[in-house]
Structures are given as structure tokens and as C-alpha cells.
């Protein structure tokens, strides 16, 4: 069988990433995370695009070197067209076009949210590839969706957030607790040492398969303000329990909707993707669903959960097989559905 080499480029938010895939396998996956945003408690778009411009050449060079190939061996360039921050997307898009032009090989545009789902098709030992149809819950800093996946490129959003994304619920709450950005991984860390039943936070009431997280953030804020009035050291003294309780509430919200979606569609194959699927609590709760509800679950390898170019590369490969190439006049798009 022929070896197809694809270069994937991801630059939608604050990670500059490049990966080389050979058929369905990842040869390299280099990610340069932008530390600068920590100082501001969130991603600053202007600084993100500058950092991408600075990082993109070294990151791509390194990905090609680590894959042990030469640029001339590549068969196509796949890049994130959107959704994401416009200034960030423009860097990856322009670079991908130039390189495809220089090497005279096809250009392939990739939808970032589709890539979080199709990351499950990366071939790895010990990781099963889901069969169609399956449900995918994409949980990240920008999105919270339940998607019915009928085929690689036939996806239907059956539920989504009406306000904040779940990653924002983690990050904004962390900010209230005085933790640096991004706070999600830190909440996860402290939660593992705390009591999830210590402080009950209210679950939002949202219909159908939709989510809402802005109310939760507000109740976290009021709760902390009230407690700090009584005891200024409340957060420091109870950080583990606060994090455990918040994480417990968020996981319950997510699992409840998955249960509902599974019942409604009759589909028991469930995959997760996006940065929040790195969370140890959600991983555990999903696994428990195998026993409790007869689910078959698919949890991506850690490095393919948060933003990475390997997931862009696998979509590039799947589109390459269909000869689904992109015109050179393509433009980045901040908002796109499937």
C-alpha cells in the first residue's frame, strides 16, 4: 500500500501546532502553547496571532524533522479553516496556502470541531476506532456540543450550549478562585483531593439536549463572595472541596445530557473530544457508563484531546482519500457549522 504523508497545521486559538501523518498514523505532533495569555487571565487575540506568526515556521520544521521525512515527501497540506479567532486562523491559512503552492501539492481545509471528533480515527495501538453511528460530545473552551456522527463527514449537532462553553465554566470559576489561566486542569488537580459533596451547586434547567453554564458561573461567584465575607481565607482553606464540588456538578450536567441523547437516539457508542475531555472526572464517569448504561465509550489519547495538529492531519488524510481538495482562494472563517 502507498504511503501518504499529510502535514496538519492548527492555529485556531492559542496553540500553534503541526503534525505529520503517514496514512492513519501520527509520526509527529508538535504543539507550542502560548504562555503569554496566563498573565491576562484569558486568551488575548492580538497576542495570539503574533505568537502564531512567530512560532509557525519552527513548529512546522520540527514536525517534519521529527517525522524523519523531507518537505518534498508530503502529499498534501491540511489546515484549520475555522471556527476560531480570525487573526489566529489567518496565520495558519496563509501559511498552508503558501507551502502547498511552493510544493505544488493539494491544500485541504479542516473544520476544527469536526477534527476534535475525527481524532478518534487516528490509528493507535490499544485505541479502538468507533463504528458509525456514534454520539460525540465535544467539550472545549469554545464549544459544548452533542453530535450524532453518521459517517466521517455526515454529522448532526443534536445539542449545544446556549451560552458559555463548559471549558469557560471551568476557567471562569478558576479565575474566581484566584487560579491562573487556563484553570480547568488545576480544578481537575485539586478536585482529586476534595469532597465532591461538600458544597452543592445548582444544576441549570435547560431543555432538550442543550446546555447552559453561565448560571453556574454566577452561583459560584455569589457563593465565594458570601463565604469570603464570613472568612477571608475561605477559598484557600477549602480549595480542594470547592473544586471537587464544582467538577462533580459539571460532570453530572454532561452525563445527564449524554444519557438523554443515548436514550433518544438509541445509540450506545459514545466518544468525547476537546480540551475538557482531558478531565479525569469526566473520563471516569464515562467509563462507569459502560457498566451502568451499557455504553461503549471512546476516550482519546491525552495528547489528542486539547488542541493539536494530529487531529487536523487525520481529517486531511480522510479528505485526501476522497480527493476532497480546497481551492487556493479559500478564506478562514471564525464561525462555521459542519
Q: By C-beta, is 270 or 276 nearer to ligand KG4?
A: 276
Binding ligand KG4 by CB under 6 A: which of 96, 276, 286, 315? 276
154 vs 5, 117, 132, 134, CA distance in Å?
25, 12, 10, 11
Of 105 and 315, CB closest to ligand KG4: 315
In the annotated binding site for Fe cation, the residues are 112, 116, 307
- Contact between 140 and Zn ion (CB under 5 A)? yes
Helices (H), the chain: 45-66, 86-103, 112-118, 166-176, 184-191, 214-230, 234-265, 280-293, 310-321
Residue 83 or 159: which CB sits closer to Zn ion?
83
- Based on the shown chain and the rule CB under 6 A, indicate whether residue 141 belongs to the binding site for ligand KG4: yes
E-strand ranges in 74-166 read 76-82, 107-111, 134-139, 144-151, 154-160
Record the cell numbers describing residue 251, joined without a space.
460532570
Residue choice 29, 111, 140, 161 for contact with ligand KG4 (CB under 6 A): 140
Residues tagged in the binding site annotation: 112, 116, 138-142, 171, 184, 188, 279, 307
- Residue at shortest CB range from ligand KG4: 275
Of 209 and 278, nearer to ligand KG4 (C-beta) is 278
Choose which of 10, 168, 241, 307 interacts with Zn ion (CB under 5 A): 307
Read off the C-alpha cell for 199.
Answer: 458544597
Q: Check binding of 251 to ligand KG4 (CB under 6 A).
A: no
**Residue 43 — φ and ψ, nearest 5°?**
-75, 125
Least distance to ligand KG4, CB of residue 64, Å: 23
- CA distance to 158, 165, 263, 310, per residue, from 336 (Å): 16, 16, 28, 21
Q: Round to whole Å and give the CA distance between 50 and 319.
A: 30
What residues between 6 and 35 interact with ligand KG4 by CB under 6 A?
13
Query: From the CB of 106, what's the least distance to ligand KG4, in Å?
Result: 26
Q: Which helix (H) or strand (E) holds 28?
A: strand 25-33
Among positions 149-178, residues that touch ligand KG4 (CB under 6 A) are 167, 170-171
Query: How distant, in Å, are the alpha carbons of 73, 82, 176 from that of 97?
Result: 17, 15, 42
Residue 185 contact among Zn ion, ligand KG4, none, beta carbon within 5 to 8 Å by kind: ligand KG4
272, 299 contact by CB (below 8 A) = yes
211 binds ligand KG4 (CB under 6 A): no
Find the shortest distance in angstroms from Cβ 239 to Zn ion. Answer: 27
Number of residues this chain uses to bind ligand KG4 (CB under 6 A): 18
CB of 59 to ligand KG4, least distance (A): 16
Compute the least distance from the CB of residue 166 to Zn ion, in Å.
12
* 171 contacts Zn ion (rule: CB under 5 A): no
Question: For residue 229, what are the contacts with CB-CB under 8 A and spacing of at least 6?
Answer: none
Contacts (Cβ under 8 Å, ≥6 apart) of 8: 17, 18, 19, 20, 21, 78, 79, 110, 309, 310, 311, 312, 313, 314, 315, 316
DSSP readout, 216-243? HHHHHHHHHHHHHHH-TTHHHHHHHHHH
83 binds ligand KG4 (CB under 6 A): no
- What does the binding site for Zn ion look like in residue numbers (CB under 5 A)? 140, 307
- What does the binding site for ligand KG4 look like in residue numbers (CB under 6 A)? 13, 140-142, 167, 170-171, 182, 184-185, 188, 274-276, 278-279, 306-307
Amino acid at each position: 500500500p502507498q504511503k501518504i504523508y499529510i502535514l496538519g497545521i492548527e492555529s485556531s486559538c492559542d496553540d500553534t501546532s503541526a503534525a505529520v501523518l503517514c496514512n492513519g498514523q501520527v509520526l509527529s505532533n508538535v504543539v507550542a502553547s502560548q504562555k503569554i495569555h496566563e498573565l491576562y487571565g484569558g486568551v488575548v487575540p492580538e497576542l495570539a496571532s503574533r505568537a502564531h506568526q512567530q512560532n509557525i515556521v519552527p513548529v512546522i520544521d520540527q514536525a517534519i524533522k521529527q517525522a524523519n521525512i523531507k518537505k518534498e515527501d508530503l502529499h498534501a497540506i491540511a489546515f484549520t479553516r475555522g471556527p476560531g479567532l480570525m487573526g489566529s486562523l489567518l496565520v495558519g491559512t496563509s501559511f498552508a496556502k503558501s507551502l502547498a503552492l511552493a510544493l505544488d501539492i493539494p491544500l485541504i481545509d479542516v473544520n476544527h470541531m469536526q477534527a476534535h471528533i475525527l481524532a478518534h480515527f487516528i490509528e493507535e495501538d490499544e485505541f479502538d476506532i468507533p463504528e458509525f453511528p456514534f454520539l460525540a460530545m465535544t467539550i472545549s473552551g469554545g464549544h459544548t456540543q452533542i453530535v450524532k456522527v453518521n459517517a466521517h463527514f455526515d454529522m448532526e449537532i443534536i445539542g449545544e450550549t446556549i451560552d458559555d462553553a463548559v471549558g469557560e465554566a471551568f476557567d471562569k470559576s478558576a479565575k474566581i478562585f484566584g487560579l491562573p489561566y487556563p484553570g480547568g486542569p488545576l480544578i481537575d488537580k485539586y478536585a482529586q483531593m476534595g469532597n465532591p459533596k461538600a458544597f452543592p451547586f445548582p444544576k441549570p434547567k435547560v431543555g432538550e439536549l442543550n446546555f447552559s453554564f453561565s448560571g453556574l458561573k454566577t452561583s459560584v461567584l455569589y457563593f465565594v463572595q458570601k463565604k469570603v465575607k464570613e472568612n477571608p481565607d475561605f477559598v484557600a482553606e477549602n480549595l480542594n472541596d470547592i473544586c471537587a464540588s464544582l467538577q462533580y456538578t459539571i460532570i453530572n450536567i454532561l452525563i445527564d445530557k449524554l444519557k438523554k441523547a443515548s436514550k433518544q437516539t438509541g445509540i450506545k457508542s459514545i466518544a468525547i473530544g476537546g480540551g475538557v475531555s482531558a478531565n479525569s472526572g469526566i473520563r471516569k464517569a464515562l467509563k462507569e457508563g459502560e457498566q451502568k448504561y451499557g455504553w461503549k465509550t471512546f476516550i482519546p489519547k491525552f495528547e489528542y484531546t486539547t488542541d493539536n495538529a494530529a487531529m487536523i492531519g487525520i481529517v486531511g488524510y480522510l479528505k485526501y482519500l476522497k480527493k476532497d481538495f480546497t481551492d487556493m482562494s479559500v478564506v478562514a472563517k471564525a464561525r462555521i457549522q459542519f
